[in-house]
Structure 1
Amino acid sequence: MKSFSLSQAVSILSLLNLGASTLLLDFDAQRGDNPSILGLLNLEQARGDSISANTKDLYIKLDKDPKGVQAAHVHRKAGYIRAEYHSLKDKTKEDTSYFIGYTFSLGTITHNLVVWQWKEYKNAAAQNVPLNLEFNNDVLELIYEAPGTNSKKVAKWGKKLQTGVTYRVGIVINTSTTDGALQFYWNGVRQTLNDNGTATKTLKGVFWAGQSDPKFGAYRGEETVIDTYIYKVQIGTKLDDIRDAAGIGSDPSPSTTLATVTTTAKPPTTTCSWEGHCIGAPCKDENDCSDDFVCKSGSCAKP
């Protein structure tokens, strides 16, 4: 496997930002784009129980949100588990930087609902979902799974959200297996992430275990009816490619490289590695509990 230093990643990424770029994916509901532009439709009533096309109870289709704004409407009946688009299927590569912009709103907020995944398909390093955006009650968290941990989730950022509000996300991922890096923008502002107790603007890690692809929509949180709305998705090779979907202004202040920047901001205080999933937190099974805790009588507890 090719050795790839962070300095090399920065250099290459800088060159990418200076050159011309073609968007790898560009969906805009306001243009009337068919949601199929987003990729492969994944619909499941139950885990592993796939449905091949939209139904009245499970779909992603061009529609309007409750305010009359055109959007890709993601709908799931209570008890149904998945309505997602799998983007860039089998097209992402190692040692590459991906810039992802995502504009969406929520008709429903519920515990464990996942609205975006960076999903691993070959899983050569026991790293099922390197990154996702998942709700911990009404707090949307950016979750990281390190190689070798598979389903052990660690929250790196979180924010309390509301229904009916349009949000814009920017995610920058470098897929080096030796010096991978992550930057995260929320409504156009680059965020501070929690790196095991240290606040940082660039999270070092491994976000690639053979084939990691982005997914957009709604997964888990199946206890209730789900409605979410996707307005715009852009994926490219430089920051300028996603400024619109990520809400990043045209000024030059946002970073366009993956250089490490640390701050003195106080990181979130947690009592375990996955805040809100510690001892005493509500759970359905052990996947809802942090560290080595188990689910006993509906609450996370020591084994």
Structure 2
Amino acid sequence: EGEPTPAAVTAASLRLPRAFQMLPEFFVDDVTELLLFTARVAERQPRFLVDENLDVFMTFLVVLMGCPDHVHNPYLRAKMVDVLHHWIPPIGASTHHPWVQKMSNIFDLHPIGTRMLVGHLLRLYVDIEFTGSNTQFYDKFNIRHHIGEILEYLWGIPVHQQSWKLFASEEAGGFYLKFVNMLVNDAIYLLDEGMKKLPEVRRTLEAMEDLQAWNRQPPQEQAERESALRQNEDLLRQDLLLANVHISLMEYTTVEITRSFLLPEMVERIATMLNYFLKYLVGPERKQLKVNNPEKYGWDPRKMLRQIVKIYMHLAAPSTGEGDQFATSVARDGRSFS
């Protein structure tokens, strides 16, 4: 019958025994905690795991991470993502280093990983939306940040990119559309929050530069404004860090994957989002987005502008007629064009 396609590869297709569901969760949690501990040690002492066979653990992580029927706790599945995030070879690391070679080979050659990893990461990205925790809204962004960084690494590996493209094609109007919808939702929220906080940070920093006026304020008011500034700076850094991952994901994937973005139920939303942030970056509001030391907050408006323009170009390029629909949706956005 041939190899199963990425969308068809599930826990059932690997014939995991139903009895597995009867095992206490801590069996899986203990193994994952141990893997996370050793991964952290290996980052500081790379030779720690060089001689160990990690293939079986890669299978363990990849399979169970994407199988909510077998591992119900989304935070436990997210912990598996943390392990993989530690396993990714560092950017710029020498490919001749034994640890880098070992981990590169695991991601490049593991037979189950190359078939399932992308699909299971995307499924967890969606599943983590609702965890049942009272902190789920904030938790999801941190988990998706790690998922996004792993996905960016995998996109650069041809076998994973091909698996991703096939998965997106098979699930274009189903699961992948749901993923794109959540991706767009996150990008809108994070960028909007970041662009609202930038002027607040700017105003406070400018006020602090006028020492005479600043010192005329009561000490308590100064302390409150300084505390609010620190909080806004922390939130701004986090929002922009996470937003950058989401925008980057849209930029590099839309080179090859556009169908879900251009479906009737999505095309106007993506066009409106791009127009909204383009207007922020090049319109009159752009002056409010300038801050001293923007790199301190991870704010690079020129890079973001380039990314948004590239997304426009990628989505307008398809020759199937969907690109024309995107152009129409862009022009029809009355909020940005009037």
Q: TM-score, normalised by structure 2?
A: 0.25
Q: Which has the larger radius of gyration?
A: 2
Give me the TM-score of the superposition, normalised by structure 1. 0.27
- Tell me which protein shows more strand as a share of its residues: 1
Larger proportion of helix: 2
